[in-house]
Structure 1
Amino acid sequence: MASNRPAPEAPFVPGQRPADPADTFVYGGERTDEGPWEEWNPTAESIRPVRGRHRVAKQRGGLARSSTVLGVGVIAAVGAGGMATAQTGKPPVSISMPDLPNVGSLISDDTDTEAEATGIAAAPLSGIGVTAVETEQGTADAGEALRARIMAQAEQQQDQAESKAAAEALAAAEKEAAEAAVKAEKEAEAKAAAEKKKAEEEARKKAEAERLAELAKQYTLPTSSYTLTSQFGQAGSMWSSGYHTGLDFAAPTGTLIKAVHSGTITEAGWGGAYGYKTVLTLDDGTEILYAHQSSINVSVGQKVSTGDVIGRVGATGNVTGPHLHLEVKTPGGGGVDPLAWLRDKGLSV
């Protein structure tokens, strides 16, 4: 418990009547045998707490020892800012300001003795006039306030958890939507690329068909009413090179042989194992050789156009039956497959 040093006694003025123990102190009454008093202002040193029970010092001149009256005076002094001033026109009486844990700490020795004798304990100031019901009600209110605070904190935490979960769900949904959008974009790009590729392929095929159709107007098959027998590159002992160097069109003797494209006749006559043969050199330098003819209708240096008759099918030279042996050589002299070459020109063989 905090404590203050006892207030010093008021200074004694010589010539005044000594205090009479039988005198009765009346609060607010005038005493002609008292005063004048000197004003005492408390300092940090004078009010420094000390150990022990505190009492208000009795003033000389008949200050009453009544604990009740003294307690009222101290309370009034504390309420007025620590300084009690009599309103009777007399000089103010200085009163010390002790800690006020309870009223019992402000009473004198006699009152303390009486309290101890009667067994009545001093009650704290904060509890004066408070009933048990009010105390219980205050405790209940405090508990209810604590419960409300705990519930509010729990609701706040729940709201925060729900907000966090909602934010995480929203972020996950946004991420999933972004991934779906990227996937859809990639699929759309892949589909567009496939469609573009397909369109390009169709356009290429269409252009090639148009090209072949145009070439077909410029090229023609070497004969008609035929049957393909020996293919290019076919191996056998019948050919001196060990393999077939051309494409055979089997047809009846006398079937017309035509110029596959416009060009110039560069050879026409006997060709040994080829029998009667004719060589047509095209404008790009490609050579077309016709062999085993029964007759030749053109001469060297003659200009021919696509479809002109240059001879007839026969069985001259090294043959097993009437047919047209057709060879195609590039400008460099290498032989190529006549079937592929004719098809490349748009012809159906």
Structure 2
Amino acid sequence: MASNRPAPQAPFAPDASEPFAYGAPRAEDGAWEEWNPTEESLPAVRGRHRVAKQRGGGLARSSTVLGVGVIAAVGAGGMASANTGKPPVSIALPDLPSVDSLIDGHHTDAPAASLAGVATATATAAGDASTADAGEALRSRIMAQAERQQSKADSRATAAAVAKADQQAAEAAAKAAKEASVKAAAAKEKAEADAEKKAEEARLATLAKQYTLPTSSYTITSTFGQAGSMWSSGYHTGLDFAAPTGTLIKAIHSGTITEAGWAGAYGYRTILTLDDGTELWFCHQSSISVSAGQKVSTGEVIGRVGATGNVTGPHLHLEVHPGGQPTGIDPGAWLRGKGLTP
């Protein structure tokens, strides 16, 4: 194995007893000059252990390795932050010095500056992480507030829907109740009308037993209110029952005969006054069977059909005067009110 050639010794050896490392120059040493070996002054070294000239790349590579280590460490922290659900943090790395800057005599301050840059980057990363934590907390509060507001909005919407449904149900119930009330009122009214009708029918049936038509085998030839020149008043004032002369005339209801005799245009007339004061006039009779003041009952014969007075043929002219008043009413309506159909 080859070895390097020994380097030449220095022109003098320092004396350790002297106050300074090299002491003062001595005369025997000759002219003194600083020994500063250079690459040109030294013989070339041959062999496996020859040291190549450094061109500033070694320390640069070292700084690159240091930067890669810092990036790896920071990346590990970022991965940990990512695993915890926090957003990644940006880190600014300082520029590390090159070998040339170290050789030029600035190597003393460069490591400190590099370390200061790393510390600054670390502090920046910590600050960014703190800012990220504050941002995450703010985001969480905003999301929680949004959820509360959404929950309140949903609650208000639900309450509004429930209130609307209740209102619709109340309106439907009120409408149903109103319809039911209307139906009940209509049913009640119908029931009352039916009851009243039945009562009236019963009353008329009872009256029909108490009242009777004035004659039989007749034909209605003239009605009440019918206009014509043959009547002095210009209209017919009674109801005409045309029947053969001699047909029996009966008392419609029980009462008192208040008049019986000749009455001019009415011919022979009989007036029957009922208990309520209503007067029934039986006119144009051929004969009278009762006298004034006589009491008669329902269906009793009081005369016969004739053609006396102002007539065109044999018939019974019947008039009804409530309360004895001079103007009469429709005899047909009055008879129907008593349960009789002329």
Fold shared per TM-score above 0.5: yes
Task: Tell me which structure has the larger Cα radius of gyration.
Answer: 2
Question: Matches of 2:262 and 2:133 in 1, distance apart?
Answer: 134
Matching residue within 136, 152, 157 for 1:160 = 152
1:5-49 superposed Cα distances (whole Å, 9 cap, x missing partner): xxxxxxxxxxxxxxxxxxxxxxxxxxxxxxxxxxxxxxxxxxxxx
Matching residue within 211, 218, 230 for 1:226 = 218
Question: Matches of 2:161 and 2:115 in 1, distance apart?
Answer: 61
Question: Matches of 1:346 and 1:182 in 2, distance apart?
Answer: 46
2:252 corresponds to: 260
Instruction: Supply the AA of the counterpart residue of 1:336.
Output: I
Deviation at 1:190, TM superposition (A): 2.2
1:134-186 superposed Cα distances (whole Å, 9 cap, x missing partner): 77766665555444443333322222221121111112112222222222222
The reply to whether residue 172 of structure 1 matches residue 164 of structure 2 is yes
Deviation at 1:309, TM superposition (A): 0.9
TM-score of the two chains, using structure 2 as the length reference: 0.60
The reply to whether residue 188 of structure 1 matches residue 203 of structure 2 is no
1:283-310 superposed Cα distances (whole Å, 9 cap, x missing partner): 2221111111122222222211000111
Deviation at 1:249, TM superposition (A): 0.4
2:101 corresponds to: none
Matching residue within 297, 318, 325 for 1:305 = 297
Q: 1:123 to 1:328 in 2, by over 3 A?
A: farther
Contact 2:279 2:324 in 1 (8 A): no
1:324 corresponds to: 316
Instruction: Supply the AA of the counterpart residue of 1:186.
Output: K
2:77 corresponds to: none
Secondary structure of the 2:178 match is helix
2:94 corresponds to: none
1:239 corresponds to: 231
State which drifts further: 148-157 or 281-290.
148-157
1:78-97 superposed Cα distances (whole Å, 9 cap, x missing partner): xxxxxxxxxxxxxxxxxxxx
1:348 corresponds to: 341
Question: Matches of 1:330 and 1:180 in 2, distance apart?
Answer: 55
Aligned positions of 1:84-103 closer than 5 A: none
Question: Matches of 1:285 and 1:164 in 2, distance apart?
Answer: 80
1:282 corresponds to: 274
Question: Matches of 2:234 and 2:289 in 1, distance apart?
Answer: 31
Q: 1:185 to 1:239 in 2, by over 3 A?
A: same
Q: 1:121 to 1:190 in 2, by over 3 A?
A: farther
Question: Matches of 1:158 and 1:122 in 2, distance apart?
Answer: 52
CA RMSD of aligned residues (A): 3.1
Unaligned runs of 5+ in 2: 1-107
Question: Matches of 2:303 and 2:275 in 1, distance apart?
Answer: 21
1:96-139 superposed Cα distances (whole Å, 9 cap, x missing partner): xxxxxxxxxxxxxxxxxxxx966847999xx89x6998777666
Q: 1:153 to 1:132 in 2, by over 3 A?
A: same
Matching residue within 286, 293, 301 for 2:285 = 293
Question: Matches of 1:141 and 1:285 in 2, distance apart?
Answer: 114
TM-score of the two chains, using structure 1 as the length reference: 0.59
1:199-256 superposed Cα distances (whole Å, 9 cap, x missing partner): 2222222222222222111111101121111112222222223322211001122221
